[in-house]
Amino acid sequence: MILSPAGIKAQEIIIGAPTSLASLEGEESCRAAQMAVEQINASGGVEIKGRKHKLLLKTCDLEDFRAPHKPGKPLLKLKNFILSQKPQALLVGPFRSEVFLKSMDLVSAHRLPCVASIAMTPAVEAAILANPKNRFIFRTCLNSRYLAAYLMGAMEMIREQFGFRKVYILNQDVAWARSTASLLSKVFFEKRGWQVLGQENLIITRQNADRILERVARKKPRVILVIFDQPEAAFLVPGWRKRKIPALMGGFISPLSGPGSWAEHQGQIAGFFNMVFELGNLPSDKYQLSKAFYHRFNQRFGRPLQAGHGPAPAYESVFALAEAIKRADSLDPEKLVKSLIQTNRQGVMGRLRFHRAQQAVFGTDPQKSSVGCVFQWTNNGERRLVFPSSIAQGGFKLPWFVGP
């Protein structure tokens, strides 16, 4: 408890952040959320009925990163966390979509407003629209449909620049990656004249990465599109360069998003293009709020952001929730849900607002919507923004071993 200026006790507002703390995205998302909490508390907290209340962030490790198909233990941990810590709202949420979907009944039963920022399956929105009990669920990160749309934009740009039309898709065997690959194949490649030479659902290991690349190379694609969050997928990129496979490689490999990956892989990732799911996780000179967030994180924690997904929307979730509490002038869950729906703030990802399924709207103009982005590693270890054009620094460049 804290004292208000009038000497009357004011209750702290407990915000829970249950996620997979062993994952880069989960750990840095909680750091970003804590940074937002500190900023709000430094200004006095959140006002309810004339009194200021400080925010208190409590985390919980659900350990769901490595076991997407075994939701039992993470769900039990989430239930125990809710019962023991009694949060008044939840942020970040389960890492795996498989676990997040299963957790919705639990969150709704406790009438807890939840502003999630990692799990990506579009099935969440379908569940929200199908059943009013799921009205407590919101999401500030992009979903698989938006990810597919950004990759479509990047692939169209590659086709226009180089005339490439043959692609091989490698994706992780988890819900969000499978749905992204499926959307790309059905909605984009088949209709835009691309030839999909193969598509595989995989779990990458150090031992099988080279065999996979050998198999792909025999098909002679011009683009190898990869979609993974598992750390081991990073082995594909140095292997691509070592084999000098004459195809552009890119898409999303989580551990190759941050600046630290250049030194970790001794520069053997030059030419690879990667998706950063939310602006702010990578700053743009053309959007100052993203730069301010990125540099604030570096100053607060003594190191730059490494995750390409999660921290920026987790940070925005805290501010969206705080503003919703202030508008509602209450912590009543029903009033908070109605107030969260009204969210319309210019933040570090761009403009944050929700569509009717309570998913943040993503587009290509940060003045109108939240924005994701694609960058390409340069030969000197810089991350050069290439898409969308509103924040881009230029077009794609082919590695020296990839001919036109």
pLDDT at site 363: 98
Count CB atoms within 10 A of the CB of residue 232: 17
Q: Do domains 2-142+285-363 and 145-276+372-387 have the same CATH topology?
A: yes
Percent of the chain having pLDDT more than 70? 97
Q: Poorest-confidence range of 66-70, 90-94, 355-359, 381-385?
A: 66-70
User: How many Å apart are CA 69 and CA 72, to the nearest integer?
Assistant: 9
**pLDDT, the chain, mean:** 94
| Overall average pLDDT of the 264-289 stretch | 97
Look at residue 257 in the predicted model and tell me its pLDDT.
95
Q: Model pTM?
A: 0.93
Half-sphere exposure of 240 (CA within 13 A, CB side): 29
User: What does the pLDDT read at residue 152?
Assistant: 95
Q: Given the DSSP bridges, would you call strands 248-253 and 223-228 parallel, antiparallel or unpaired?
A: parallel
Instruction: Read off the pLDDT of each residue in 119-143 and give the average, rounded to a whole number.
Output: 96
Res 6 pLDDT > 60? no
pLDDT at 283: 97
How many of the other CB atoms lie within 10 Å of CB of 392? 18
Whether residue 181 contacts residue 227, with contact meaning beta carbons closer than 8 Å, is answered with: yes
Q: Please, what sign has the CA dihedral across residues 135, 141, 145, 146?
A: positive
Helices (H), 115-249: 123-130, 144-162, 175-183, 209-218, 236-243
Percent of the chain with pLDDT over 90: 91
Indicate if the pLDDT at residue 71 is higher than 90.
no
Task: Indicate the range of 142-146, 220-224, 348-352, 359-363 predicted with least confidence.
Answer: 142-146
What pLDDT score was predicted for residue 68?
62
Of residues 280 and 191, more confidently modeled: 280
pLDDT tens for 212-231 read 999 999 999 999 999 998 88
Q: What residue has token string 């979903």?
A: 143
- Position 3 scores a pLDDT of 33
- Tens digits of per-residue pLDDT, 245-275? 999 999 999 999 999 999 999 999 999 999 9
pLDDT surpasses 90 at 93: yes
Query: What mean pLDDT is predicted for residues 53-78?
Result: 90
Give 134's pLDDT tier (boundaries 50, 70, 90).
very high
Is the per-residue pLDDT at 132 higher than 70? yes
Cβ atoms of 128 and 134 closer than 8 Å: yes
Taking the domain 145-276+372-387, which CATH number applies? 3.40.50.2300
What is the per-residue pLDDT for 10?
58
Q: How far is CA 384 from CA 312, 375, 396, in A?
A: 19, 5, 9
The 10s digit of each residue's pLDDT in 94-121 is: 999 999 999 999 999 999 999 999 999 9
Mean pLDDT, to the nearest integer, of 313-317?
Answer: 98
The answer to whether residue 156 scores a pLDDT higher than 90 is yes
Which CATH topology does 2-142+285-363 take?
Rossmann fold (3.40.50)
Give the pLDDT score at 138.
Answer: 98
Q: What is the mean pLDDT of residues 320-348?
A: 98
Amino acid at 85: Q
Sketch the domain layout of the chain as residue ranges: 2-142+285-363, 145-276+372-387
Q: What is the pLDDT of residue 7?
A: 35
What are the structure tokens assigned to 143, written together?
A: 């979903």
- Gap between the terminal Cα atoms of the chain: 65
